[in-house]
């Protein structure tokens, strides 16, 4: 296998990992990208293991963490640490890096899981401007990253992030540990639990659970835009016309044409006025509004740098959602992108970082109790007034209103939560009051 080249930088390097920015399954040319996590070389040991997280490949473990099991004083949660036998750990090279481990090596899953989780935390702690403590820090100072092949899921909970895999694609086992979006999404849940907390009772609003899914999706989406190859491929495919179906708006890919949900969607909150059954579906109006804000900010940055004209921006706004949008706007973006591809790239990175910092600041203002999508809008508007003096007020409010957010209320849950619901999953289960 040919590994990517890298050059030494003036600044102190971090520990290096090779990650798949997009799922390696379903694409014949999935490529690894070299990333540096914030931990300096030599601080990440075998496992990998570091000050805040460590990987375990348990042997003989059949019960997923979070399950309720019998105990000496009655039923209780099955939680880390794993004290049984383990598969061989991933070992750093002589320089303290993990880039020597090839994807077909048994230890690659462990390295990829650790690198993905740590990289996502680095990105978002950068946006928050501080270290985010684990929501379970009262019991654990480190997150156990557990590889459990028999688990057809990936979930984070009290002290653990556990990944299994799926065999639904022609009976080929596809581990979620190699899917950056899946790992980043679960880290997103942990960030939100730490920042806004858990509801104080069992009667959390539907919008709380929908918000959680939306926030975790945005954590994954913006983290993926920190891979140079993702940004390059995205712009080469779309020429900046990001409303097209592309790499950016696909989450949790397990195959080239199979996605769990889309960021670029046309869902309205009013569709849930009579009630809801799935927080994943309920999250889509909020995620759609946030995705549209990201694209509108990108257009504003293009306009600010003279890469598109006011007439082009107005035309995009007028045609958005219409059947003519793709044909008309793609030709326009093809022309403008060809003139300055690097300018488009810089504008996208500016929009990415503005959106990330706005979301981090807005989430800091929210509270788990009685949380609504309108509260998210109000927080974003307040952040924008504080940071830019209100430069994006119309964009933020307009995109929330298009989704009927602030114009309607979500109805009641129409069915008892099933095993796929976070309301009853191990993610929200805690071992003590």
Encoded tokens for 225:
């835009």
Structure confidence at residue 5 (pLDDT): 44
Q: Are 32 and 19 in contact (CB under 8 A)?
A: yes
Closest CA to 177 of 249, 255, 254: 254
Look-up: residue for tokens 């990650």?
19
What pLDDT, on the 0 to 100 scale, is given for residue 7?
41
CA distance 432 to 430: 6
- Tell me the C-alpha distance between 232 and 327, whole Å: 22
How many of the other CB atoms lie within 10 Å of CB of 396? 25
Please give the pLDDT value at position 424. 60
Token pair in block for residue 144: 């156990």
Per-residue pLDDT at 257: 39
At residue 23, the pLDDT reads 85
Question: Tokens in use for 152?
Answer: 């057809």
Question: What does the block give as tokens for 292?
Answer: 């549209």
Q: Give the per-residue pLDDT at 423.
A: 60
Helices assigned H by DSSP within 277-340 = 279-304, 310-319, 325-339
For residue 2, the model assigns a pLDDT of: 37
pLDDT of residue 202: 66
Res 30: pLDDT: 77
Distance CA 64, CA 382 (A): 41
Supply the pLDDT for residue 376.
98
**Phi then psi dihedrals of residue 128, to 5 deg:** -75, -25
Question: Can you give the pLDDT at residue 70?
Answer: 85
Query: What pLDDT shows up at residue 415?
Result: 81
Q: Give the per-residue pLDDT at 350.
A: 98
Of 229, 216, 29, 3, whose CA–CA distance to 124 is shortest?
216
User: Per-residue DSSP letters for 53-117?
Assistant: EEEE-BSS--SPTT-EE--BTB-EE--SPP-S-BPPPB---TTS--TT--TTSTTHHHHHHHHHH
Query: Using CA atoms, how far apart are residues 88 and 357, in angstroms rounded to an integer?
Result: 39
Q: What is the pLDDT of residue 200?
A: 80
- State pLDDT tens for residues 50-103: 999 999 999 999 999 999 888 776 688 999 999 999 999 999 999 999 999 999
Contact 225, 181 (CB under 8 A): no
Rounded distance, CA 269 to CA 412, Å? Answer: 13
Say if CB 362 and CB 376 are below 8 A apart: yes
Tell me the domain boundaries of the chain: 18-196, 206-402
* Helix/strand/coil for 365: coil
Asked if 185 contacts 219 with a C-beta cutoff of 8 angstroms, the reply is yes
Among 361, 370, 367, smallest CA distance to 392 is for 361
Q: Class assignment of domain 18-196? A: alpha beta
| Nearest Cα to Cα of residue 249 among 240, 262, 259 | 262
pLDDT under 50 in the chain at which residues? 1-9, 255-260
Rounded to two decimals, the pTM is: 0.92
Question: Which residue from 182, 138, 162 is spatially nearest to 65, judged by alpha carbons?
Answer: 162
Question: Could you give the CA distance from residue 174 to residue 176 in angstroms, rounded to a whole number?
Answer: 6
Structural contact between residues 211 and 188, judged by C-beta atoms closer than 8 angstroms: no
């Amino acid at each position: 296998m040919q590994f990517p080249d890298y050059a030494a930088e003036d600044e102190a390097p971090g520990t290096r990992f090779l990650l798949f920015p997009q799922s390696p399954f379903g694409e014949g040319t999935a490529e690894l990208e070299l990333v540096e996590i914030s931990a300096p070389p030599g601080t990440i040991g075998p496992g990998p293991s570091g000050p805040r997280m460590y990987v375990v490949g348990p042997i003989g473990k059949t019960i997923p963490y979070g399950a309720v099991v019998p105990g000496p004083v009655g039923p209780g949660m099955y939680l880390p640490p794993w004290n049984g036998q383990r598969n061989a750990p991933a070992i750093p090279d002589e320089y303290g890096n993990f880039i020597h481990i090839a994807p077909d090596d048994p230890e690659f899953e462990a390295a990829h899981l650790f690198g993905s989780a740590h990289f996502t935390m680095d990105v978002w702690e950068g946006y928050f401007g501080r270290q985010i403590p684990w929501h379970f820090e009262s019991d654990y100072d480190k997150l156990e990253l557990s590889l459990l092949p028999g688990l057809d899921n990936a979930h984070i909970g009290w002290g653990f992030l556990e990944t299994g895999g799926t065999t639904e694609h022609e009976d080929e086992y596809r581990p979620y540990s190699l899917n950056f979006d899946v790992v980043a999404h679960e880290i997103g849940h942990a960030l939100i639990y730490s920042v806004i907390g858990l509801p104080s009772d069992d009667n959390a609003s539907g919008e709380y659970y929908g918000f959680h899914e939306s926030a975790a999706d945005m954590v994954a989406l913006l983290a993926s835009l920190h891979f140079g190859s993702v940004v390059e491929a995205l712009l080469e495919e779309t020429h900046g016309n990001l409303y097209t179906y592309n790499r950016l708006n696909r989450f949790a890919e397990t195959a080239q044409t199979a996605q769990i949900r889309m960021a670029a969607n046309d869902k309205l909150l009013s569709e849930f006025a009579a009630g809801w059954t799935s927080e994943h579906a309920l999250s889509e109006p909020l995620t759609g509004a946030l995705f549209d804000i990201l694209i509108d900010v990108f257009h504003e940055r293009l306009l600010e740098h003279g890469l598109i004209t006011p007439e082009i921006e107005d035309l995009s706004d007028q045609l958005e959602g219409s059947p003519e949008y793709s044909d008309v706007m793609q030709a326009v973006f093809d022309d403008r992108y060809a003139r300055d591809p690097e300018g488009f790239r810089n504008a996208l990175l500016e929009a990415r970082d503005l959106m990330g910092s706005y979301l981090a600041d807005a989430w800091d203002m929210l509270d788990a109790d009685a949380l609504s999508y309108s509260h998210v809008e109000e927080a974003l508007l307040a952040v924008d007034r504080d940071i830019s003096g209100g430069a994006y007020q119309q964009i933020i409010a307009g995109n929330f209103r298009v989704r009927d957010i602030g114009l309607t209320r979500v109805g009641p849950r129409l069915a008892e939560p099933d095993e796929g619901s976070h309301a009853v999953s191990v993610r929200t289960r805690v071992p003590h009051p």
